[in-house]
Structure 1
Amino acid sequence: MRRAGGRRHTLRDIAAALNLSVNTVSRALSGKDGIGEKTRALVRAEAERVGYVPNSMARSLVTGSAMTFGLVITNPSNPFYAQLISSIELRAREHDYSLLLTVTDESAENEARAAESLLRSSVSGAIVVPVQAGADPWQRLGAVGVPTVLLNRDLPDLGYRFVGTDNELGGYRATAHAIACGARSIVVLEEDLPITTIADRIAGYRRAMTEAGLSMPRGSVMRVPTRRHDQAALPWQPQQAYQVARRMLRRARLPDAVVAGNDYFALGLYRALAEHGLKVPDDLMVIGFGDHPFSAFLSPSLTTVRLPAEEVGEIAADLLLEEIAGGRSARPLKQLIAPTLVERDSTARKR
């Protein structure tokens, strides 16, 4: 039921009708302690009579915040973030929070605006994938008491809670698998952003190669120009990786395997190889990163590293809920969740 003029009934309306405080009404409806059964029954009866529906703005009259999680991500075209958003939103909804999503497009300027927007919106807390161009925007949130959890990329100087994928382990497992399949020369096809997730994957590649006693000549890490640093971030495009792969195919000697930083890059690589009459995995093995929905349907199906997006999102939301509640957590300050190697036909060589 709505009031005259179409406005929905609020906690304040119920409080006025019963001559109670908004705090008392809120506690009665949420089942909190300190409210007598008679008062609780009166409040619930009035709420039912007027058709009251709880919402974050009404709850904020009591909590002092908008009962909202701020979620800041860098690139909405990344399927990993799509899964994260879904996981975090579900966990937030279970606890009566809504989600305010902001995209920075890998821009420090946009990131500063995002932090300012969260402050103006009086969010209960924030989950942030930082651009890693500086910690100032998120330091400001912490300084005014907004609980903040970092996701996927850390800013160690802040000392905030952090959860992400163990990308170093992912890069290591992908490379070690290629080596186990017989590859001795392996190159990496990676994005051109100076961020820890990419650096960690490359570090894992180098660790596996070093342990196997294999060389990494100049040009072993090929960069794909997928971003405009001074404009908006571009979505991942197989076309960019395709162009880089064509240059690689002009080399005098091809590598045995390519570890791609995401499955879209592997898609571009597939096309370049096909145009040159080369077959995967007979002529060159390919390993992706992300296990995107199309990866199992490529021909041959793509061996790739599956990222724990759902688990990372759930942990991030739980960490933020703990921070908002002000309780002490038994969880470590920094958490890295292991990815999983999914073996398919693109590395199906005889070992």
Structure 2
Amino acid sequence: MGESRRVTLKDIAKSLGVSVNTVSRALTDKDSVGEDTRARIKAEAQRLGYVPNSMARSLVLGSAMTLGLVITNPSNPFYSQLISTIEQRGRVHGYSLMLLVTEESPEVDRHAAETLLRWGVDGALVVPVQGDGEHWQRLDDSGVPLVCLNRDFPELDLDFVGVDYEHGAYEATRHLIDGGARRLCLLEEDLPISPVEDRTAGFRRALAESGIGTHRDPVLTVPTRRRESLALPWEPADAYRLAQEIVRGDDLPDAIMVGNDYFALGVYRALAEAGLRVGDDVLVGGFGDHPFAAYLSPALTTVRLPAADIGATAVEVLLRRMSGEGGERGDSEEAEKRRERCALVVRASSRATEGTKT
């Protein structure tokens, strides 16, 4: 038997002197095969390097045993952890993962929905490019259960599992205010997506509840998403240029909140070049708790995202929907919307004792 040829059931049967049907029943754990025979067949299959033909198995079972995962950018640390968790949880239940990347392209996003339908995946987990999400609704309506991740389409009848960005931003902003900040600004992404909207809402709510008024809009947009493609989801240089404008102005904030930790890198540099000390002259709060946050000087106070919890919950919701336990959505069955809480990780950039608050 040549090394390049795929080992078949017939090869195992010939090696052991049993029928192909017996080998098939043993490898699929059918009751009609004795335990000794089953063990012998499985040991021989392993020795020969037998790998099941997934396509043939799919035809028999009527299932591809595959979950589709669509994300915008795998270099985002949050999505990297999300991918890992979803792959692990799916594997436990016997599912492989088909990963598609859209890079924030609406056209690629629509093509991804068509690809998942064409390949016949059993279910899909999707970080959508927000805007027109009707193609995802059509995929769900066609019989492919779907869960939106991290970004919600409230107007569509789709399950959603994501981060409670509003609460996370609220807690971080309140922390800066409790530390003495009265002139605050928020540097946010320029992408019209629900996480940005939710973080902005949380920031504004904290200001309003604290009675802090502003004579200008405290939310500033960092133009990092205007490029066609990025190796990283965010570019510190864009926040650096905006922060330079802020420190040169006549109304220096005493606290700067950023929508992600990469922006904080640019803010740190701009403040240092202006002779301003982070944590003393200007408090800084981040979002994401990326690996470098604890190693900045001073260490960055930031919001830790529950990526592993999001991934595990999303797979749980999807599998329940696929099994029919969640019911068919209709007039009597609303889409499930679940938001996981963040944790505020307090460090020296906010001039406070280190700790974690959920």
Is TM > 0.5 for Structure 1 vs Structure 2? yes
Supply the distance in 2 between the matched residues of 1:13 and 1:320 (Cα, whole angstroms). 38
Gaps of 5+ in 1: none
Q: Which letter does structure 2 place at the counterpart of 1:123? A: V
Q: How many Å apart are 1:211 and its aligned residue?
A: 0.5
Q: Spell out the pairing of 1:97-246 with structure 2 (5 A cutoff).
A: 97-228=95-226, 231-232=228-229, 235=232, 236-246=234-244
Supply the distance in 2 between the matched residues of 1:304 and 1:342 (Cα, whole angstroms). 5
Q: Which letter does structure 1 place at the counterpart of 2:19? A: L
Supply the distance in 2 between the matched residues of 1:129 and 1:314 (Cα, whole angstroms). 15
Supply the distance in 1 between the matched residues of 2:8 and 2:336 (Cα, whole angstroms). 39
Q: How many Å apart are 1:28 and its aligned residue?
A: 5.3
Gaps of 5+ in 2: 328-333, 354-358
Residue deviations 1:64-123 (CA, integer Å, cap 9, x gap): 333221110112231111111111111112122221111111111010111122122221
Query: Percent of pairs identical after alignment?
Result: 53
Mapped pair 1:345 → 2:336: no
Task: Tell me the secondary structure at the aligned position of residue 212 of structure 2.
Answer: coil
Residue deviations 1:306-348 (CA, integer Å, cap 9, x gap): 000011011111222222222238x981110000000000011
Note if contact 1:182-1:349 (Cα within 8 Å) is conserved in structure 2: no
Q: Spell out the pairing of 1:258-269 with structure 2 (5 A cutoff).
A: 258-269=256-267
Q: How many Å apart are 1:13 and its aligned residue?
A: 7.6
Mean CA deviation greater in 265-274 or 135-144 = 135-144
Supply the distance in 2 between the matched residues of 1:246 and 1:95 (Cα, whole angstroms). 51
Q: How many Å apart are 1:43 and its aligned residue?
A: 5.5
1:49 to 19, 44, 54: 44
Supply the distance in 2 between the matched residues of 1:179 and 1:253 (Cα, whole angstroms). 17
Q: Which letter does structure 1 place at the counterpart of 2:254? A: D
Partner of 2:337: 334
Mean CA deviation greater in 213-222 or 201-210 = 213-222
Residue deviations 1:197-243 (CA, integer Å, cap 9, x gap): 000000000111110000133231110111137x3356211101001
Q: How many Å apart are 1:175 and its aligned residue?
A: 0.5
Partner of 2:32: 36
Task: Tell me the secondary structure at the aligned position of residue 157 of structure 1.
Answer: coil
Q: How many Å apart are 1:149 and its aligned residue?
A: 1.0
Task: Tell me the secondary structure at the aligned position of residue 249 of structure 1.
Answer: helix
Q: Spell out the pairing of 1:51-90 with structure 2 (5 A cutoff).
A: 51=48, 52-54=50-52, 56-90=54-88
RMSD after superposition? 2.7
Supply the distance in 2 between the matched residues of 1:183 and 1:220 (Cα, whole angstroms). 13
Q: Which letter does structure 2 place at the counterpart of 1:346? A: S
Residue deviations 1:16-56 (CA, integer Å, cap 9, x gap): 973649xx94x754547xx3344x76565444334433464
Q: Aligned residues, how many? A: 341
**Runs of 4+ in structure 1 over 6 Å off:** 11-17
2:289 to 291, 294, 300: 291
Note if contact 2:26-2:41 (Cα within 8 Å) is conserved in structure 1: no
Task: Tell me the secondary structure at the aligned position of residue 155 of structure 2.
Answer: helix
Note if contact 2:12-2:41 (Cα within 8 Å) is conserved in structure 1: yes
Note if contact 1:147-1:323 (Cα within 8 Å) is conserved in structure 2: yes
Supply the distance in 1 between the matched residues of 2:9 and 2:122 (Cα, whole angstroms). 19
Supply the distance in 2 between the matched residues of 1:88 and 1:4 (Cα, whole angstroms). 37
Supply the distance in 1 between the matched residues of 2:43 and 2:7 (Cα, whole angstroms). 11
Note if contact 2:10-2:20 (Cα within 8 Å) is conserved in structure 1: no
Note if contact 2:158-2:335 (Cα within 8 Å) is conserved in structure 1: no
Note if contact 2:301-2:345 (Cα within 8 Å) is conserved in structure 1: yes
Q: How many Å apart are 1:184 and its aligned residue?
A: 0.7
Note if contact 1:190-1:222 (Cα within 8 Å) is conserved in structure 2: yes
135 and 11 in structure 1: CA distance in 2 versus 1, 3 angstrom threshold: farther
Note if contact 1:106-1:233 (Cα within 8 Å) is conserved in structure 2: no
Note if contact 1:14-1:43 (Cα within 8 Å) is conserved in structure 2: no
Note if contact 1:152-1:165 (Cα within 8 Å) is conserved in structure 2: yes
Supply the distance in 1 between the matched residues of 2:101 and 2:336 (Cα, whole angstroms). 25
Partner of 1:18: 19
Q: How many Å apart are 1:61 and its aligned residue?
A: 2.9
Q: How many Å apart are 1:60 and its aligned residue?
A: 1.7
Supply the distance in 2 between the matched residues of 1:44 and 1:155 (Cα, whole angstroms). 50
1:257 to 255, 258, 266: 255
Q: Which letter does structure 2 place at the counterpart of 1:48? A: A
Supply the distance in 1 between the matched residues of 2:2 and 2:320 (Cα, whole angstroms). 40
Supply the distance in 1 between the matched residues of 2:324 and 2:59 (Cα, whole angstroms). 19
TM-score under structure 2 length normalisation: 0.87
Task: Tell me the secondary structure at the aligned position of residue 194 of structure 1.
Answer: coil
Q: Which letter does structure 1 place at the counterpart of 2:32? A: G
Q: Which letter does structure 2 place at the counterpart of 1:289? A: F
Supply the distance in 2 between the matched residues of 1:140 and 1:105 (Cα, whole angstroms). 21
Q: Which letter does structure 2 place at the counterpart of 1:256? A: D
